[in-house]
């Protein structure tokens, strides 16, 4: 299906479209997310600033609800993102970037895609470009953090540490501008002198970025220090690209009307709001601030609907409550140790139950649907039988895994036990395994986040190609199930060989990394 490309009639530099911030290009990207083409417009915009632990999906959606034009995610470190795998989450209708330990590092959804800017922490141009290419199909813009003064950002030369290395700044931004299909921006702090600041921003502008966000404080200054509107104004009057003013929450921005006053004081194109939006995201609403109770309940609903980790939900709610943390509701929130308890503290217990039941039902439906193509084995020229399968523990009977099923079958057929050979791909640290049974090799074409999961997937390929039970819920009981029930009655004190087989204890599994001189059936992956 082809999408029409709108013609941009806006003459303002940095603005992609007079009708919509992002225009849809032809076709679809991987995973069903729409690929956007033209640039974001950074003129006359209200923007949610990147805030660590705050700028997650629920807060970004809430800010959009209340009138924000653009939302930034929290700063995410390049090395951490490069370990992640992009996963389409069909249960939540999101795209997740999942770390090897199964933690969701970054989650987004289609609704925010055309107005979401991904901010990264980086000190290396090539890593920055790799991250940009990893996420560019799911976001509208790419931003480099060059202003955060905190240790977690400045260590390794990231954040505000970059301000003392203009050559590195130029290399990172130039590489991104040339290498990604998304508009590139950066966020900086001002330097000790106006002359040095203007020299730096001119050099930054020359890289071809679409806009620059300026926090009007020096690296060593904190919110209690006054923001320098004059310096931001001098930058705005010097550059031809849009300048986004930031840092006004403490001195200037208390309600929506103050945002425009701050923009005028700085002569900026747009305003980026951080702490004032963290305290009450309805700051973006033209009609004025909404009651905090209403705002928090709406935030909690998004957090539950998108399976936000309860510790992050709790942190954001505490930032909203502020001086009310000692209230009865604040004490309930402080004591909450789960999303359920947070919901109950705010009178949303029924909503939590209904939503989680709906998500569980959706998850069960998806697990029950196994595409036919994943059940049809195919043999490639190397003789390895391959299928695109993954192992999901929730789809299998307790204490039963494909590896145990395969081992039991080999024992019954008097075959040598399965031998697994697993490799790890250096770029994303994902694993793939080949299992050899009766001199035939089997492999899943899908790479997995752990060695154990990759081996289970290989076992599934073997079992399915032989038409054998693999332990899935709903399958007819196999002799393995019977063996497990009978073993304790036969000899409660018998050897551990009668215990349920455990992954990792069944056989020797040689492990190599890609690039090893050892010949591997996975060579070339």
For the stretch 242-299, pLDDT in tens is: 999 999 998 899 999 999 999 999 999 999 999 999 999 999 999 999 999 999 999 9
Side-chain-side CA neighbours of 340 within 13 Å: the count stands at 4
- Are 51 and 220 a contacting pair, CB within 8 Å? no
- Are 175 and 129 a contacting pair, CB within 8 Å? yes
Pairing of strands 70-72, 116-121: parallel
Tokens representing 389 are 């399968």
pLDDT score, position 381: 63
pLDDT score, position 398: 75
Compute the C-alpha angle 216/210/105, nearest 5°.
80
pLDDT score, position 483: 43
Q: Report how far residue 417's alpha carbon sits from residue 409's, in angstroms, rounded to the nearest whole number.
A: 9
Q: Specify the 3-state DSSP secondary structure of 53.
A: coil
Say how many C-beta atoms besides its own lie within 10 A of residue 426's C-beta: 10
Pairing of strands 76-77, 70-72: unpaired
Task: State the chain's mean pLDDT as an integer.
Answer: 83
pLDDT score, position 479: 46
- Residue bearing the bigger pLDDT, 37 or 43: 43
pLDDT at 379 over 80: no
> Which whole number is the average pLDDT over 108-122?
97
pLDDT score, position 490: 35
pLDDT score, position 427: 54
pLDDT score, position 424: 84
pLDDT score, position 476: 56
pLDDT at 475 over 60: yes
The separation between the first and the last C-alpha atoms of the chain, rounded to the nearest angstrom, is 31
pLDDT score, position 75: 96
- Residue bearing the bigger pLDDT, 13 or 122: 122
pLDDT score, position 156: 87
pLDDT score, position 392: 87
Distance set, CA 286 to CA 19, 251, 282, 351 (Å): 20, 20, 9, 29
pLDDT at 183 over 70: yes
pLDDT score, position 172: 98
Query: Which one of 3.40.1390.10, 3.40.50.720, 3.40.10.10, 3.30.160.20 gives the CATH number of domain 378-466?
Result: 3.30.160.20
pLDDT score, position 383: 86
- Are 456 and 391 a contacting pair, CB within 8 Å? yes
Write the class of the CATH domain 45-288: alpha beta
Q: Which segment of 37-41, 43-47, 469-473 scores lowest on mean pLDDT?
A: 37-41
Residues with Cβ within 8 Å of residue 295, at least 6 apart in sequence: 62, 280, 281, 282, 320
Task: Specify whether 148 is catalytic.
Answer: yes
- Residue bearing the bigger pLDDT, 37 or 119: 119
Burial class (CB in 10 A: 0-12, 13-18, 19+), 237: exposed
pLDDT at 36 over 80: no
pLDDT in tens, 139-178: 999 999 999 998 888 888 999 999 999 999 999 999 999 9
pLDDT score, position 484: 42
User: The pTM is what?
Assistant: 0.68
At 428, the pLDDT band (50, 70, 90 cuts) reads low
Q: Which segment of 135-139, 146-150, 459-463, 487-491 scores lowest on mean pLDDT?
A: 487-491
Distance set, CA 114 to CA 21, 38, 138 (Å): 7, 10, 8
pLDDT score, position 380: 59
At 457, the pLDDT band (50, 70, 90 cuts) reads very high
Side-chain-side CA neighbours of 399 within 13 Å: the count stands at 9
- Residue bearing the bigger pLDDT, 188 or 489: 188
Q: Report how far residue 324's alpha carbon sits from residue 319's, in angstroms, rounded to the nearest whole number.
A: 10
Residue of 507, 504, 510 whose CA lies nearest to 411: 507
Tokens representing 395 are 């789809």
pLDDT at 80 over 70: yes
Domain positions in the chain: 45-288, 291-370, 378-466
Catalytic residue among 148, 229, 405, 462: 148
pLDDT score, position 100: 84
pLDDT score, position 71: 98
At 397, the pLDDT band (50, 70, 90 cuts) reads confident
Which one-letter DSSP state was computed for residue 134?
H
At 126, the pLDDT band (50, 70, 90 cuts) reads very high
């Amino acid at each position: 299906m082809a999408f029409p490309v709108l013609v941009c009639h806006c003459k303002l530099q940095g603005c992609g479209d007079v009708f919509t911030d992002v225009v849809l290009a032809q076709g679809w990207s991987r995973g069903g997310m729409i690929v956007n083409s033209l640039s974001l417009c950074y003129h006359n915009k209200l923007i949610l600033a990147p805030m660590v632990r705050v700028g997650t999906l629920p807060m970004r959606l809430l800010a959009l609800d209340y009138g924000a034009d653009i939302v930034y995610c929290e700063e995410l470190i390049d090395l951490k993102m490069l370990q992640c795998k992009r996963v389409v989450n069909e249960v939540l209708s999101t795209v997740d970037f999942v770390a090897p330990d199964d933690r969701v590092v970054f989650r987004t959804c289609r609704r925010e895609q055309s107005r979401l800017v991904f901010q990264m922490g980086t000190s290396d141009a090539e890593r920055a470009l790799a991250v940009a290419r990893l996420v560019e199909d799911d976001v509208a813009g790419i931003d480099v953090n060059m202003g955060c003064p905190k240790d977690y950002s400045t260590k390794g030369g990231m954040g505000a540490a970059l301000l003392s290395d203009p050559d590195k700044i130029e290399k990172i931004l130039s590489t991104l501008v040339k290498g990604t299909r998304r508009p590139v921006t950066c966020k900086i702090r001002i330097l000790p002198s106006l002359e040095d600041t203007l020299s730096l921003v001119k050099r930054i502008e020359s890289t071809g970025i679409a806009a620059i966000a300026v926090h009007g404080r020096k690296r060593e200054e904190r919110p209690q220090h006054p923001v320098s509107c004059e310096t931001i104004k001098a930058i705005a009057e010097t550059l031809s690209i849009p300048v986004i003013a930031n840092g006004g929450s403490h001195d200037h921005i208390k309600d929506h009307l103050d945002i425009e006053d701050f923009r005028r004081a700085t002569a900026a194109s747009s305003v980026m709001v951080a702490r004032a939006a963290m305290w009450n995201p309805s700051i973006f609403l033209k009609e004025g601030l909404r009651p905090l109770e209403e705002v928090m309940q709406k935030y909690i609903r998004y957090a539950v609907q998108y399976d936000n980790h309860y510790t992050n939900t709790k942190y954001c709610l505490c930032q909203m409550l502020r001086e009310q943390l000692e209230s009865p509701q604040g004490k309930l929130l402080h004591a909450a140790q789960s999303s359920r308890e947070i919901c109950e503290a705010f009178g949303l217990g029924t909503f939590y139950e209904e939503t989680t039941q709906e998500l569980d039902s959706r998850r069960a439906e998806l697990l029950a649907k196994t595409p036919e193509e994943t059940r049809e084995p195919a043999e490639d020229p190397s003789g390895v039988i391959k299928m695109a399968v993954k192992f999901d523990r929730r789809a299998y009977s307790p204490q039963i895994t494909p590896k145990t099923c395969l081992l039991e079958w080999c024992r019954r057929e008097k075959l040598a036990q399965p031998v697994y050979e697993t490799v790890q791909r250096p770029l994303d640290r994902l694993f793939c395994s080949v299992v050899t049974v009766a001199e035939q090799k089997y492999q899943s074409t899908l790479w997995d986040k752990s060695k154990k999961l990759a081996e289970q997937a290989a076992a599934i390929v073997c079992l399915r190609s032989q038409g054998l039970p693999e332990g899935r819920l709903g399958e007819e009981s196999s002799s393995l199930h019977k063996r497990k029930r009978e073993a304790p009655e036969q000899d409660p004190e018998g050897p551990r060989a009668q215990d349920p087989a455990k992954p990792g204890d069944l056989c020797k599994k040689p492990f190599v990394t890609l690039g090893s001189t050892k010949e591997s059936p996975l060579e070339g992956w």
